[in-house]
Amino acid sequence: MIAAAMVAVVVIFHVLSIRFTVLKPYPSWVQDILIVVIPTLLVFGAVYVQPVLTAKGRKTRIEIDLPYAITYMQALSTTLTLYNVFRSVYEQHDLYGEVSTEFGMIVRDVELFGDDLVTAMRNLGRTTPSANLKRLMDDLILMFESGGDITEFFASRSAHFREVARNELEMGLKTMEIMAEVYVSAFVAAPIAVIIMTAAETMTGQSQLSAMMVFFFIGLPLGAAAMIWILSLVLPAERLEITRREIEETEYETGVPLSGGEREAPGKFSRRMKSTRAMIRFQDITRHPLRHYVADYRFGAVLGGILGLAVTLLFWNGTLAALVPKYPFEVFISLFCIAVLSPVMVAFELRRRYVHRVEEQIPDFLRELADLKDIGMTLQGAIHLISHSKLGLLSSELKVVSDEVRWGSPVSSALVRMEERIGVLMIKRAISLIVRASEVTDYIRDILMIAIGDMEHYLKMKRDRFTTSFAYIMIIYLSFGIFLYTAYVLNVSFISSFEKLNTAIDISGNVLDMFRIAIILGLFSGIMAGQLSAANIMSGFKHSILFLIATVVMFVYVL
């Protein structure tokens, strides 16, 4: 299909007599072959490599989440059968990600295909991309068949896999370092070199920069997008989800409803119930607009679309050209990108700050809870005392839990409601452990200490990642700054030295081309910086906005 499409492009090029400037010295068949062969090879390579990269990315995500899943399995294994432990992890997909997906294969084999548990675990070991999960399944099969202590087995494996996850992250960071160096060399240094060479050609009146712009317009975005895509597959993103689900309360229990578990009410009553729920949600959005704006990026995307439309209208009616008569179209593109990205960027950064603040408070909360349990306090009493300590956001939420328990609600139900109000992944993991452990025994110190170790391990890995990526983010900033400085020197200082010799050199075309290259580099360099720091393109929106602002200031008000 791709080859056929490229042949059609070749025919169109011949009909319209289109020739690439750099290929004019060569016969036309050279251009025809390149048009057909290069895109075909690129698409074939992408299709061939994509499954390998996807499997490697899944492997990394499995091995990073595996220690936390094993800790949860350790808490469950004291009262549940091994199969029910697997099923419980499978049902907690929002907490354990790809590990839950893998354990879903065990549930499928047992419930749908009728396999026994050992056969299902062997099947998972054969198909999983994670060698560590395969070894866990092999060891667990031996322990299960020999009748060993499953709880002790999970306890011994938890610390081991935390170390494995740390090593896996280090390997991912090395990959990130290589990708960052390649990006800076190929997508920042190379355009600078080309610009310097074409500036020399400009003095002879034979500049080729405009002829090469088609390669910049196509090659820079496609190359940068390919590197960002590869990083997104290889490195796991920060878990910044804020998920809040409806809590159903009945006479017998309180909990989060399972998908598909709600029976449809008949006819008119069903429509009235849906209408009432929609009204309640609308009222909640109007009462807490910031909370919904941060939790759901769709609000930011809609606002960005509105701002982008406003900028477009200003451009079409000539207002923007009147305000900025120099390079109005390029300024419009820059302002449009800034307007579209800014609302989503604000929502992402607010969410990120909220999640980080909650995560930093979790170890202190768990440590205080473990200390109070050591002196013999009940879980209810410990939560009541901790709610009066200075833990920031968690203190206010724990006060709500304490009040609900005092009014007669079970402590487990109050904690479940708290985790859904906060909605942060790591607090859900911690609360799930506490609830499960408290259902088994009143002595939960060991589980709490494991949870503290998991949380501190998670925070340490985040700090290590930030420390490693920060240097390369600074390199991207420095490289883009060098690009702007090079454009300034070539078009101001360098040219002014020739004006003293009464030599007239027209640089207006070069400045415009450099402006366009800077817009492309600014947008994608910022996104690349976000992908390096948090494996999330939205983390790069703030960098892109800063780069685009610097570009407009340089080319409109300085040059």
pLDDT at 245: 58
Q: Most distant CA pair in the chain: distance in Å?
A: 94
State the angle between helix axes of 2-16 and 28-76 in degrees (0 to 180), rounded to the nearest 10. 150
pLDDT at 252: 44
Q: Give 196-249 pLDDT, tens digit per residue.
A: 776 666 665 555 555 666 677 777 888 888 888 877 777 766 666 665 555 555
CA distances 347 to 289, 340, 394, 525, Å, are 12, 12, 21, 21
User: Measured between alpha carbons, how far is 543 from 119 in angstroms, rounded to an integer?
Assistant: 50
Sites in the chain below the pLDDT cut of 70: 1-3, 6, 9-10, 13-26, 198-214, 236-267, 440-443, 493-509
Closest CA to 515 of 213, 193, 313: 213
User: Measured between alpha carbons, how far is 117 from 115 in angstroms, rounded to an integer?
Assistant: 7
Q: Give 279-328 pLDDT, tens digit per residue.
A: 877 777 787 788 778 878 888 999 999 999 999 999 999 888 888 888 88
Closest CA to 153 of 164, 143, 161: 143
Cβ-in-10-Å burial (0-12, 13-18, 19+) of 137 comes to buried
pLDDT at 543: 94
pLDDT at 250: 46
CA distances 5 to 219, 526, 552, Å, are 19, 33, 38
Domain boundaries, the chain: 1-148, 169-240+297-355+459-558
The owner of tokens 């049902």 is 91
**Coil, helix or strand for 148?**
coil
Report the first-to-last Cα separation within the chain, whole angstroms.
47
